[in-house]
Amino acid sequence: MAHSVVGIDMGSSTLRGVEVADPGTARPTLLRYHQVSLPEGAVTNGEVVEPNTVAAALRQLWTEGSFKSKNVVLGVGNQRVLARDLSVPKMSLTRIRESLPFAVQEMLPIPVAEALLDFYPIAEIDGENGPMVRGLLIAAVKSAVMANVESTHLAGLTTVDVDLIPFALSRVLLSRPRVGGTVALIDIGGSTTSVVIAIDGVPQFVRIIATGGNDITQALQAAAETGGEHPEETKRRLGLATGTVAAEDKRSIEVIYKVASEQLTSLRNTISYFVNTRPIDTVQQIVLSGGGAHLRGLPEALAEMTRLPVEVADPFLSIALGKGLTLEDLRHNASAFTAALGLALGRAA
């Protein structure tokens, strides 16, 4: 009998779930997916503020989406999650994780007792005193993670794992499709943008930037006259428009370009930082995902600024589809459900 698990992506305004059967196999099957709206303020920057409200939304998600499994994987990925390079003496992964509280206090902005720590090994290297393991230290604020877990408990669900969202995205967009070479995966969400640089599908570098597609919407709202078009609709209609622009849209275009230019500059600088610290690992291309990736003209602008080829990702290349699901419907919603899919695929149920 197939085992299944549900990846849960908690956004500021939307709760998304994806159920996958046999996630640890070479060809897992996507069974079902669904999303429901969240009341404003229930979740902020991926952190649950009102557990009972989110629990009610989770129960609604299960009912409307007809999810069968009660096992869920949650994602974390905002400014209160740190990912940094760390090399430690070679030992088992269990012992490395046990040693983290004693080894990383000076790297953390909070006391060790208030953090959840994990280590993602990348490669073995030679150190001055013997073999070492190079990897990424992952540290998250414990209270924020536990509030998310509590909401699933209140909904009658079991959290079997908590994963870093950039890792989940890398898994579904780079590792499983076997994208080779040194690739920068950029996921532009509503309030955050994550950058993962991977070599042959293995993450080497992670940064989470506190800006996203909502920044453009909010800037348009602040500049808009009352009674006009909704800022989100204006953003989607205009994007990074080129050519002739109607007189009534000029102010909106200026606002969009200003915010987008700041975001693109930050992304270019992040990639440049990696290249400058790892000159032998030149980034060869950018894979783009997230709702913000669909801003008209943004892939082209990012390619021009970074002088790298940019490809918008397809998360459904390496999975089978359950009964009643079609690629056409999935790809229409691809950017919305990518994180939840990646979270589910990380759990060998």
Can you give the pTM of this predicted structure? Answer: 0.89
pLDDT at position 177: 84
Please give the angle made by the CA atoms of 231, 236 and 239, to the nearest 5 degrees.
Answer: 105
What is the arithmetic mean of pLDDT over 197-208?
A: 93
Q: Is the pLDDT of residue 229 over 90?
A: no
Architecture (CATH level 2) of domain 81-141: 2-Layer Sandwich (3.30)
pLDDT at position 340: 94
The confidence band for 137, taking pLDDT boundaries of 50, 70 and 90, is: very high
The confidence band for 1, taking pLDDT boundaries of 50, 70 and 90, is: very low
Mean pLDDT of the chain: 90
The confidence band for 349, taking pLDDT boundaries of 50, 70 and 90, is: very low
Q: Is the pLDDT of residue 166 over 90?
A: yes
Of the candidate ranges 85-94, 186-195, 326-335, the one whose mean pLDDT is the lowest: 326-335
Q: Is the pLDDT of residue 3 over 60?
A: yes
The beta-strand segments (E) located in 69-168 are 71-76, 81-89, 115-127, 130-141, 158-164
- Each domain of the chain, given as residue ranges in start order, spans 81-141, 179-313
What is the arithmetic mean of pLDDT over 169-183?
A: 91
**What is the widest separation between alpha-carbon atoms in the chain?**
68
Strand partners, 116: 140
The confidence band for 329, taking pLDDT boundaries of 50, 70 and 90, is: confident
The beta-strand segments (E) located in the chain are 4-10, 14-21, 29-37, 43-44, 47-48, 71-76, 81-89, 115-127, 130-141, 158-164, 182-188, 193-199, 202-209, 285-289, 310-312, 320-321
**pLDDT by residue (tens digit) across 140-154?**
999 989 999 999 999
CATH superfamily of 179-313: ATPase, nucleotide binding domain (3.30.420.40)
What does the DSSP 8-state code read for residue 135?
E
Q: Answer whether 236's CB lies under 8 Å from 221's CB.
A: no
